[in-house]
Each structure stands twice: as structure tokens, then as C-alpha cells.
Structure 1
Amino acid sequence: MTTRSAWPALAVLLVGAFMALLDTTIVNVAVPTIHTSLKASESTLSWVLSGYMLAYGLALVPAGRLGDRYSHKPIFVVGLILFTLTSTACAFAQNDLQLDLARAAQGLSAGIFSTSITAFIHLMFPGDLRGKALAIMGSVIGVSSAVGPLAGGLIIEAFGQENGWRYIFGINLPVGAVAVLAAFWLLPSGGRTDEDDRADRTGFVILTLALIVLLVPLVEGHNQGWPLWSYLVSALSLPMLSLFAWWERRVERRGGNPLIPPHLFAGRAFTGGVVLALVYFAAFTSIFFTISLLWQAGLDATALQSGLLLMTFAIGTVIGAARSDRLAARFGRTVLVIGLVLVSVSMISVLVVLAVVPPSGLRGWTLVAPLVVGGVGSGLFIPPNMDLIVATVPRDDAGAASGVIGTVQRVGSAIGIAVTGRILFDTLDFTGGDSPAVVFTRSATYATGASVVFVLVALALVFTLPRHSDDAPEPVARKEPHNAA
């Protein structure tokens, strides 16, 4: 595939990425209207949000490995078709149970095609252009993450409170249909077809159970105010993940096809970049959570106003990502340091504003500058860190690596929201007679402090990475299997 034809293919991939990531946040503002329209219970309706994220995270690694084995094009196309159909099912849901099931299926579909995006970038672009492609993808990540509440608010205002939420899902039908046709036409075919078709079913079961044990308590904890049991049950995932790592090494030693090849983690750049992404997404996502809750529950702002405020972060992300590839090529790891310093300054500034400015003086403009700075830093950090990770991955394992990256990003987001949410809700105290604005501002200050800790840890971790990533190594040769794994 020529570089000229790779750019139109990238556009198709980014449409899919935008749709999948947008649907993680756009529904937040629609929950009250869904509650009224479907007469849904709050406990069931909460899974409209969390079911999508859970299913999304569970699909990433298996889908990436299937793409490595059978080619990423059919995985992307099938996932995008399913996402379009399940979005339509969400739009026509007649009760909360139907909507919950359709949202879970929609999240699963998003996870199926999402890993192919990073894998295709790795396969289509050589090292000097891969950074630019990932920079564009970084802009899409930032914009789609922040624009969701704004887009949701605008759609509901345009189509009404009763059925406006249906158009939030329905808009995916025409966009998805066009994207599917373009994917058939523009995405390259081919890819590795492994002669050894023995699937690592045991590894799949162990990893799925470990992620369920990790994520379900964190997701449900968010719905129930972060009870202690949610953290204790999530901790059980650690021995399960250790068991998964042992099993994958066993499969690889016997010449099989591990779900996540252990040799991926042999390189310091890959392992360090993955851990760094986990910690960064805990910081990056948690600040959105805190500000949204403060603005709407504490300061009685509308979802649209909250979305407009967070949109400033997205603007900064586009600015930072547009320069990230050139800076990364020139300065190597240093660009990650610059990005994390800017994000640290941003979050510390937000912390100072919340601690010093009284709630009556909090306005959107007081946080615009810190959020723009944070967005620029995020744009400088996410694409080069992804490039650092994928540059050391054999081409045959691009899908598995993409699944790992996507999974740790989802896990990091869940952990960040769990920690900051627990701090925020545990410090809410209305017994002193203070107004909700005062109480929420005080608690949001504590929660923002946790986000600051996360980003400072990320800043410390970045110094453990190699300064420059080398080209991807050759695939590790498999042994001839002498026994079924």
C-alpha cells in the first residue's frame, strides 16, 4: 500500500475512532431524559453508561489478536457494521432493559474494531510518518473525549427532551453506513494468516474473568458511591492477572499462539509506555469527571455549559497533537516530559483555583486557561507515547499490542474515576449547613488533588523510559508445538 493511499484509509479509521470514543461520553447528558422517557429505574439506567465501557474493554485484546491472525480489515469492517446496527437498536429501545443490552452490544462492537485502528497505523505508515498519523489520532482522542457532553446537549436541545436522546444514537446510522462502504473500498486487505489456528481459549477465559473482576466493581462502585467492597473485589483481579501471565508464558514456550505474546513485554519501551498510559489516563479522565460533577451537581450549570467548558481542553489537545510528531522526532522522550509538565501545571492550577476562589466566584473563564494548557500537554503526550509503544512491536503482533494499549487506557480511566469518585463522595458533608456549591467545591478540591498525584506519578515514570524508540524488531520465532497448550 502506498503512502498516498494510506491517508484516505486513515481518515476512515479515525471516523470509527471518533464514533467509538464519542459514545463513551455523549450519553452522560442524555441520562435524565432517558430516565423520563423510558421511566427507567436509576440502578438499571446506570448500566447504560457502564455497560458500554465494560464490554468495550473486554473486546479489545481478543479482537486485536484475531486481526493479527486473520487480517485487520474484516475485523474492523465487521465491528463497524455491528456498531452501526447496535446504535440503531439503542435508538429504538422501548425500555431500560433493551437499552442496557443494546448499549453493551454497542460497546462490544466498538471494542472489536478499535484495536484495528492503531494496528493499521502501525502497518500502513513507516516510522517517519507513523508519528504524524498518531498525532492526528491523538487529536481525535482529545476532541472526541471532550466534545461528547457538548454534542449531546446540542442534539437534545435540537430534537427535544422526550426523544432527543434517540438521535444521539441514531446519528451513528448514516455515519456508520458511509464509513463501512469507505472501509471496504479504502482499507488494505491481506495481513498474516497463521497456519496454527489453535486459539488460546484458556487465556481468553482467564483474562476476561480478570477484567470483569477488576472493572465491574469499579463501574458499579461509581453507581453506588464507591463502597469498600468495590475495591476489595477489584483487588482479586491481581492474582488472576498473574495467573494469566503465567499461562501466556506457558503457551508461548509450547509453540502456541498466546492471546498476548509475553515477548511484547521484553522491551522496556513497550512495558514502560503501557504503565505510563495506565497512570496518565487515570489522571486525564478523572479531572473531566470531577469538573463535570462540580459544574452540574454543585454549581447547577447545564450539561451544555459543562460541555463548553471541557471543550477548551479538546482545543488545546488539537494544538498540542499538531506539533507532537515533529517535536518527538527532534527531542525523543523529552516531548513526553514537556507534555506531562504542562498537564501537571494545568491540574495544579485547577487545584489552586478551586482552593482559593469562592464558589460564588467560580465561572467557566476561571478554568479556561488551565484546561487549554492541559489539553496542549495531553496532545503532546498521547501520540508520542503510543508511537513509543508500537514502534518496538513486531508487525505480526500489532493487533495484540493495540489491544493491550486500549485495555490499559480503559482500566486507567476506571481506576482514576474510582479513586477520585471515592474521595469526592466520601468528603461530601452537608451537615454543617453549607450550600451545595460550597460542599461540592470543597470535595472537588480534594478529588482534584488525587488527579494531581496521578499526573505527578506519570511525570516520574517517564524518566524510566528509553530516550528514543528503535524500529520494530522481527517477530519472535515460534517453536514447533510438541503438545497442545
Structure 2
Amino acid sequence: MTDTTPPARAAAPTVDRRTWVSLAVILLGVAMALLDTTIVNVALPTIRTSLDASEATLSWIISGYALAFGLALIPAGRVGDRFGHTWVFVVGLAGFTLASLWCGLADGPTSLVVARVVQGLFGGIFFPAVTALIQLMFPGPLRGRAFAVMGATIGFSTALGPIVGGLLIEWFGTGDGWRSIFFVNLPFGVIAVVAALALLPRIVAGGEARGVDGVGLVLLAGSLVAILVPLIQGQDAGWPVWTWVSLVGGVLLLAAFGAWEVAVDRGGRTPLVPPKLFAHGHFTGGVILALVYFAAFTSIFFTISILWQAGLGHTALESGLVSIPFAIGSIIGASQSDRLAARLGRTVLVAGTAMVAVGLVALWILLATVPATDLNHWMLLPPLLVAGLGSGMFIAPNAQFIVATVEPSSAGAASGVVGTAQRVGSAAGIAVVGSVLFGALTFPAGAPTPDVVAEVFTHAASLAMAVSAALAVVAFALVFALPRQVSRGH
């Protein structure tokens, strides 16, 4: 007699309540790190006045954070594999919180830039531990849910930054009110560190105890700094000989970094960036895409914040409110991106980058053609909403598609490279756009009237936005380097 009893269905994996609370703790750290990438934008004009900061200093406040964050990602992941990701998370978040205090107490431009670099460094230290802990704490389908919550947290906190910054400066005043955007991290940082020590599992991933490629890290950091310093300082300094020497030196150091990584790999050791990843043409194109896209995307509110406050005389809160359409679009786009990616494949990224390009080109046309005295936030609403929807659709799934171009065994290393490319792109974008924006600020002799100031800043902002729009168009072209579909196993 044949047994027709259907096989028992395997029980769905579950986790206890403590694990979900632990997820909330680590996502609090994520929110702090991502909020600080955008909250500072609306405070830049106030910082400029309060500390008598130069234009280059304003660029460094953003670029220094992003660059240090990106450079810390790969070695921090390696250290976490060796000593446990919980300890790396706690140390990184504690350092980030103390650096936030340092930022808020900074007594001059140099002190603030150094504090921001340290803050970015510690942010880059604890951020890889977040994804590693989610991998270790959540099984199967629940892991996907946890990463979806993480993606929503990233989108929401990034979009919320300018609004929170504007509100804080409105409440605490335009004098030293900018300090509040850093002090706000202190209570949340203390809560997250204490909760992490009490709740997070003491898990070591069990990976191979690999050392960090220190020489490679120094060469990479040196090359990027040598390239970024003249891009940021060159305009202020009048492009003297040293800026060109530094640019050439940075390129040579980058070539030396590539040669060193090949030598380390051939010697049987673990390179910082495995050269075999770039044997995949699609991966190389994807990394360039990440770099270019983030250079375009992160620079737009740098430009708008400077224009809206220093040029048009609006408050920090009004500047923050301008970003609401982009924030709403980004949240909506991100919430649908995973479902759309599963259904449409690469098409969701094509549509996303196309919408960002259209939105930024429209912004550029507005700034270039509308008289400065007629500009208002309602004009910016449609293009920012379109760009926000596209950005949300792109940012959440793009790393999956780039990582899918390499073997699954190399996915971890590829993810680290993509994350670093995104942060380096952010730093480079601010450096280039800031140089164009401030380089175009040419005022007539005498005391300019408010209308003249508005016209000069609007013209400069239109040129800066043209750079961001051009980068967005290039990103749209590069997206076709990615595979049409992504393996859900990556």
C-alpha cells in the first residue's frame, strides 16, 4: 500500500524577542552614522559664520567624514572576523559618540575638521559589524526581513538629516546652534553602547584569522588624500604648483597600491582589495558606477544648502524643508526597491538612475534660467521628488547587483569594496562640486546688495548642479554594466 501522507513541512525559523531588540540597538548606530552624513549640510553656512571657516573647510567637514568612513570599512570587517563583531561595534560606536562630543566642542575650523575625520573613522569601524551581526543572529528568511528593516533605516535617517539639522539650529539659534547637531548623538550613543554590551551576542564568526594589509591601507589612504587635498584646497590657494604635484603623486600612489595588492595576492597573503575581483569587467564597471553615483547624489544638498542660506537668505530650517520632497521620494522608492528588483531585475536600477538624472538636469535648468529673486521651494519640489524616488529605487539594491558579478565566495570582499567606493565617491563629489561652487563666487566691487548676492550664488549653484547632473547621466550609462538579474544567493 502506497503511503500518500504528505511530508511534514519544515518549521519556519524563529528568533526570540531579545534578538529583535538587539537589531534595534545596532540599527540605532546605523541611524546615527547615516544621519551625520546629511545633517551637517544645513549647518554649513552657520558654521562658516560662527567659526569664520573658509570654503575649503566646509568641503572638508563633509569629505573628511566620508573618506575616513570609507577607508575604515574593509579593515574593520577583518578585525571583527578575528575578535568578534560585537566588540568592534561597541568600540566603534563609543568612539563615534566621543568624536561627536569633540565636534560639538570644537573651537576652530581645524579642530572641527579633525574631529569630523575621527568621527567618520569610528563610523566606518562599527558599520561593517552591523551587517555581520545580522548575518549571525538571523537565519534564512528572517535575515531578509532584518536587512529590509536596515535598508529602511538607512533611507529614513539619511533623508531625515537636513530636516533634523534645520530644526535644531532653529531651536538653539544661528550663533552656536550648529553644535547641537553633534550633541544630539550623545544620549543615543550612550544608550546604544550600554544596550549593546548587555544584549548583543559575543559571537566570533569563526573566519580565518587574517591580518590587515597595513601597507595597502596606507597606500590607498595616501593616494586618496593626495588627490582630494588639491581638489578641496586648490580653489582657495589659486591652484599653485603643489596642487598639481599632489594630484600626480596621488595617481602614482594609486598605481603603487594596485601593484602592491597584486604582489600580496601572489605571495599567498590576504590583500586589502583582492585583485581577482577586478578580473570581472562587470564588477569593475559596477564599482565605478557606485563611485560616480554617490559623487552625484551626495553633493546636491551641499549645493542647495549653501545657496538657500548664504545666497538667498533663508533659515536653516527652511533649507532643511527644501529636502522633504527628496526625502519622501527616497523612502517610497526604497520601500519598493527590493520587490521591484526581484520582479524587474536590472531595470529597476536603470529606471532609478534615469529618474535621478532627469531630476538633477531639471534642477540645473531651473537654477540656470529662473531669476534668483523668483526661486522658491515649490519650483524645486517636482525635480527633487523625481530624483528622490529614483535614488530610493537605486541605493537599496545596487550593491546586490554589483556583488552578483563575482563568485559567491568573494561576496564579502566585494561588498567591502563597494561600500568603500560609495564613501570615496561621496568625498570626491563634495570636493569637486565644492570647488566649482566656491570658485564661481565672483562679486562685483563694493558692498553687494542682497539681490546681487542672490544672483551670484544662484549662478555658482547652477554650475555646481551641472556637475552633479553630468555625473548622474554618467551613472545612468554605467548601470548597463551590471547583470540583468541578481542571484538571491549573493
Which of the five TM-score ranges fits, normalised by the shorter chain?
0.7 to 0.9
What is the aligned partner in structure 1 of residue 285 from structure 2? 272
Bigger shift: residues 288-297 or 186-195: 186-195
1:234 correspondence with 2:251: no
- Give runs of aligned pairs for residues 7-156 of structure 1, distance below 5 A: 8-30=21-43, 42=54, 46=58, 48-93=61-106, 98-120=111-133, 136-156=149-169
* Residue of structure 2 aligned with 1:168, choices 176, 181, 186: 181
1:333 correspondence with 2:333: no
Identical counterparts, % of pairs: 54
Aligned partners of 2:66 and 2:424 also within 8 Å: no
Aligned partners of 2:329 and 2:385 also within 8 Å: yes
Amino acid at match of 2:466: G
1:462 correspondence with 2:479: yes
Aligned partners of 1:21 and 1:145 also within 8 Å: yes
Bigger shift: residues 17-26 or 278-287: 17-26
In structure 2, what is the Cα distance between the partners aligned to 1:233 and 1:3?
55
In structure 1, what is the Cα distance between the partners aligned to 2:207 and 2:325?
46
What is the aligned partner in structure 2 of residue 437 from structure 1? 454
Question: TM-score of the superposition, structure 1-length normalised?
Answer: 0.84
In structure 1, what is the Cα distance between the partners aligned to 2:83 and 2:248?
35
Inter-CA distance 33–307: structure 2 relative to 1 (3 Å threshold): closer
Question: TM-score of the superposition, structure 2-length normalised?
Answer: 0.83
Aligned partners of 1:423 and 1:446 also within 8 Å: yes
Inter-CA distance 194–437: structure 2 relative to 1 (3 Å threshold): same
- Give runs of aligned pairs for residues 30-429 of structure 1, distance below 5 A: 30=43, 42=54, 46=58, 48-93=61-106, 98-120=111-133, 136-161=149-174, 163-194=176-207, 196-221=209-234, 230=243, 233-391=246-404, 400-429=413-442
Aligned partners of 2:232 and 2:432 also within 8 Å: no
Task: Quote how far apart the aligned CAs of 1:309 are.
Answer: 0.2
Instruction: Could you tell me which runs of 5 or more consecutive residues in structure 2 were left unpaired when the two chains were aligned.
Output: 1-11
Task: Quote how far apart the aligned CAs of 1:316 are.
Answer: 0.8
Task: Quote how far apart the aligned CAs of 1:373 are.
Answer: 1.1
In structure 2, what is the Cα distance between the partners aligned to 1:152 and 1:226?
33
Bigger shift: residues 309-318 or 191-200: 191-200
Task: Quote how far apart the aligned CAs of 1:241 are.
Answer: 2.1
In structure 2, what is the Cα distance between the partners aligned to 1:204 and 1:390?
22
Task: Quote how far apart the aligned CAs of 1:81 are.
Answer: 1.4
Task: Answer with 1 or 2: which has the greater Rg.
Answer: 2
Instruction: Could you tell me which runs of 5 or more consecutive residues in structure 1 were left unpaired when the two chains were aligned.
Output: 474-485
* Aligned Cα root-mean-square deviation (Å): 3.4
SS at match of 1:176: helix
Task: Quote how far apart the aligned CAs of 1:338 are.
Answer: 1.0
SS at match of 2:487: coil
Aligned partners of 2:37 and 2:62 also within 8 Å: yes
Task: Quote how far apart the aligned CAs of 1:33 are.
Answer: 5.4
Amino acid at match of 1:27: V
Inter-CA distance 363–196: structure 2 relative to 1 (3 Å threshold): closer
Aligned partners of 2:55 and 2:438 also within 8 Å: no
Task: Quote how far apart the aligned CAs of 1:80 are.
Answer: 0.7
In structure 2, what is the Cα distance between the partners aligned to 1:290 and 1:45?
15
In structure 2, what is the Cα distance between the partners aligned to 1:36 and 1:437?
17
Amino acid at match of 1:445: S
Aligned partners of 1:134 and 1:383 also within 8 Å: no
Task: Quote how far apart the aligned CAs of 1:262 are.
Answer: 2.5
What is the aligned partner in structure 2 of residue 449 from structure 1? 466
Q: How many residues align?
A: 472
In structure 2, what is the Cα distance between the partners aligned to 1:112 and 1:85?
14
Task: Quote how far apart the aligned CAs of 1:313 are.
Answer: 0.9
Inter-CA distance 229–354: structure 2 relative to 1 (3 Å threshold): farther
Inter-CA distance 186–362: structure 2 relative to 1 (3 Å threshold): same
SS at match of 1:236: helix
In structure 1, what is the Cα distance between the partners aligned to 2:388 and 2:478?
20
In structure 2, what is the Cα distance between the partners aligned to 1:93 and 1:459?
40
